[in-house]
Structure 1
Amino acid sequence: MRNLSVLISGAGIAGPSLAYWLSRYGFAVTVIERAAAPRPGGQAVDFKGSTHRTVLERMGVWDEIQAHRTGTTDVVFVDERGARLATMSGEFTGGDVEILRGDLAAILYRHTANDCEYVFGDSITGLTETADGVLVTFEHGPARTFDLVFGADGIHSRVRRLAFGPERDFVRHLGHYYCVAGASPWSDSATPRERIVSYGHNAPGLLAISGGSKAQQLYLFAAPELDYARDDADAQRRIIEERYAGLGWEVPRMLTELTEFDDVYLDSIGQVRMDRYTAGRVALVGDAAYGNTLGGFGSGLAVVGAYVIAGELALADGDHAAAFARYDEIMRRYAKIAGNANAGKFLAPTTAFGIRMRNWFLESRLFTLMTKYGDNAATDIDLRDYPALLAAR
């Protein structure tokens, strides 16, 4: 296999995971990221089950993830007076191990930086496939040609738009938005890794979650697709203030503190639906291919998908057509685990009756069974031992 050159767009979770495996198998890897550096902080992500752990152990990052894991966060739903209505356990939301997205990205970057070329502060503007490769143009850097291009650039993937078509053709708006503001309670490395409690209050179509004064805030609310700039924090604050005006409990205090937080992120809850994740010499990995916002499987799908597509490419000696076909087949089946989740509808029901039913469900045996189903689904893949297969050649 000749030393194929590959470009990966995105330095979050899927991108560096893919970079790790491709560089290990002898590909010349370039990762491009529009941010100026690896992004710190962010929400917590989790892994669950033997499949996720196996991939992370084969990457040599499992012990580091354990060392940087967060504690367990229970969410207690309360009424306007603060009386408990139901509890969503941290074991459900945090999987077997939970880690801040920024901490995970930093670990993956450290394991790939010496073997891959990273280009920060730039992004792809055009893709033109030729008989021998893909001509890529960039916002700032000169055009370059690569043998293969991978989009690991999130649910709003630019690579997907350029290679497959407009976002509206592949991303389904699930009727809700979410907003995260403030640093995670686990951002301070001195914080003991133990159980903490956050509190959530619902009104029809609205949910506000807070761990207390100056703590990280999470908002979920029902809404049709909104027109706003995702890089305008002030506009995002105004949307939250308008939606939550008049809501009781601790929401007035939260809205006052919201103006003091620099890190505010608002986005829609959406689901990517694609029949295939590859087109010619371009392939999608992670949320760009099978994202489902807050669906609970995104980080696991990202690392498994990266492992699979890199392994299939190596086994096929760089024959991308054969490898991409296998990747499509394997991941279409496995990615179904995130297909039916709708976090917005579950966490912020649009009726008072829906809120009562959600609270009842959280306290019932059905919730335990749903948690077990999710754990089983996370391992529902025939995971090939690519490193062993390639070493045996």
Structure 2
Amino acid sequence: MTKNVLISGAGVAGSTLAYWLARNGFKPTVVERSQGLRSSGNPVDVRGPALPVVKAMGVVPQLRDAATTSNRIRLLGADGRQVATMKMAAAKGNEVEIPRNDLATILYEAAQDDAEFLFDDTITALRQDEHGVDVTFDRAAPRRFDLVIGADGLHSTVRRLAFGPERDFVRLTGIYVATTPFSEPVDHPEDVLIHNTPGRLVALHPSRGKGGVAFIFRAEVDHFDYRDMAQHKRIVAAAYAGVGWRVPELLDRLRHAEDVFFDAVSLVDLPSWSKGRIALVGDAASCVSLLGDGSSLAIVGAHTLATALATDGGLTRYEAEHRARVMPKQRTVKSAAALLVPKTRLGLATRNLAARVWPFGL
């Protein structure tokens, strides 16, 4: 009998999982809180073990068509003069840098014909027994599934309902990220422009057509609410007060933007990614990345999960295989943060000096 699987989240992990479950004989349903797919997103990389997965899905041409135009990183001083320049790893041609939500859209389009998608809805309750999971939705009628998979990101609803509150598993790094689209073409369509001061980074990132702005910074934030955009804008404005280069102009754009992503860079650490007939994948299970690895891990993790569920190994095999990929990445978060946002002027000068001799950069 065909197993019915509910996936929470229509992002990178969720759509990839739906695609591969359908091809392994399952009947996937995807529930997504948003009314539709978002239109913007910070650039991420598809690389390493994720590349064979997207190649097998037949979406590599679409990924390359939507890829950013970035080839190098230029580190700039407060006066706009170049401090150092580095080629980007994507310039080697064996990986793809793409806005996250363009990636999610392409994966959704690959999966949509073989899965049921429920937009503008969310799970409100889960009750499982040895044979299945009874699911209550906010809008749709209750249904029963053989398995439920949380692919719903850092602030996972499935994880909260089945495993416990977020505070038990999410560890803040003290770094925050805000991104917003740049409303016009950038001046340097092949260059990522980065300006640092101690503990703060601002970047202008080209894409196809218009670019994006990113603020990455260290801060102590009390009572952070990941859903409160007005609070997010206040936090960024306070963190970058007095910073030079084009920061005042970019802050003004952020203040008036309607499309803003903001969140804490966090590590998700659970002793197990499954509980009975409920499991987690992607950022819900193991949010790890500050340098773009998260989406690649989400893709390969979803493929590993779908393949394992179709074999005798099941959830045990999935977790064993994918933890071996995730754990080394989690251990490098501190070093990645030191590269992006050095805490001190000495650290910043050291990073800039090293950047002048690196063949490939961040």
- 2:324 is aligned with 1:333: yes
- 2:301 is aligned with 1:305: yes
* Mapping 1:1-393, distance limit 5 Å: 2-49=1-48, 51-91=49-89, 96-183=95-182, 196-210=190-204, 216-316=212-312, 322-342=313-333, 343-365=336-358, 368=360
List gaps (5 residues or longer) in structure 1: 317-321, 372-393
Q: Deviations over 1:222-274 (max 9, x none)?
A: 11344243233222111111111111222122222222322112110111223
CA spacing shift, 1:181–1:306, aligned 2, 3 Å: same
CA spacing shift, 1:92–1:344, aligned 2, 3 Å: farther
Q: Which moved more, 1:139-148 or 1:28-37?
A: 139-148
TM-score, length of structure 1 as denominator length:
0.83
Equivalents in 1 of 2:183, 2:264: separation in Å? 20
Please state how far the C-alpha of 1:171 moved relative to its aligned partner.
1.6
CA spacing shift, 1:6–1:222, aligned 2, 3 Å: same
Equivalents in 2 of 1:47, 1:14: separation in Å? 13
**Which amino acid letter does the alignment assign opposite residue 333 of structure 1?**
A
Please state how far the C-alpha of 1:215 moved relative to its aligned partner.
5.2
List gaps (5 residues or longer) in structure 2: none
SS state of the match for residue 210, structure 1? Answer: strand
Equivalents in 1 of 2:138, 2:162: separation in Å? 17
TM-score, length of structure 2 as denominator length:
0.90
Equivalents in 1 of 2:232, 2:22: separation in Å? 39
Identity among equivalent pairs (%): 40
Equivalents in 1 of 2:248, 2:99: separation in Å? 28
Please state how far the C-alpha of 1:73 moved relative to its aligned partner.
4.6
Q: Is the 8 A contact 2:288 2:326 kept in 1?
A: no
**Which amino acid letter does the alignment assign opposite residue 265 of structure 1?**
F
Please state how far the C-alpha of 1:92 moved relative to its aligned partner.
6.0
**Which amino acid letter does the alignment assign opposite residue 62 of structure 2?**
E
Equivalents in 1 of 2:305, 2:190: separation in Å? 38
Q: Is the 8 A contact 1:74 1:195 kept in 2?
A: no
Equivalents in 2 of 1:140, 1:217: separation in Å? 35
Equivalents in 2 of 1:195, 1:241: separation in Å? 26
Aligned to 1:390: none
Q: Is the 8 A contact 1:52 1:303 kept in 2?
A: yes
Equivalents in 1 of 2:81, 2:8: separation in Å? 47
Please state how far the C-alpha of 1:7 moved relative to its aligned partner.
0.3
Equivalents in 2 of 1:136, 1:88: separation in Å? 50
Q: Is the 8 A contact 1:40 1:101 kept in 2?
A: no
SS state of the match for residue 82, structure 1? Answer: coil
Please state how far the C-alpha of 1:277 moved relative to its aligned partner.
1.5
In angstroms, what is the RMSD of aligned CA positions? 2.4
Equivalents in 1 of 2:30, 2:201: separation in Å? 37
Please state how far the C-alpha of 1:308 moved relative to its aligned partner.
1.1
CA spacing shift, 1:39–1:253, aligned 2, 3 Å: closer
**Which amino acid letter does the alignment assign opposite residue 134 of structure 2?**
L
Number of matched residues?
A: 355
Please state how far the C-alpha of 1:147 moved relative to its aligned partner.
0.6
Q: Is the 8 A contact 1:128 1:136 kept in 2?
A: yes
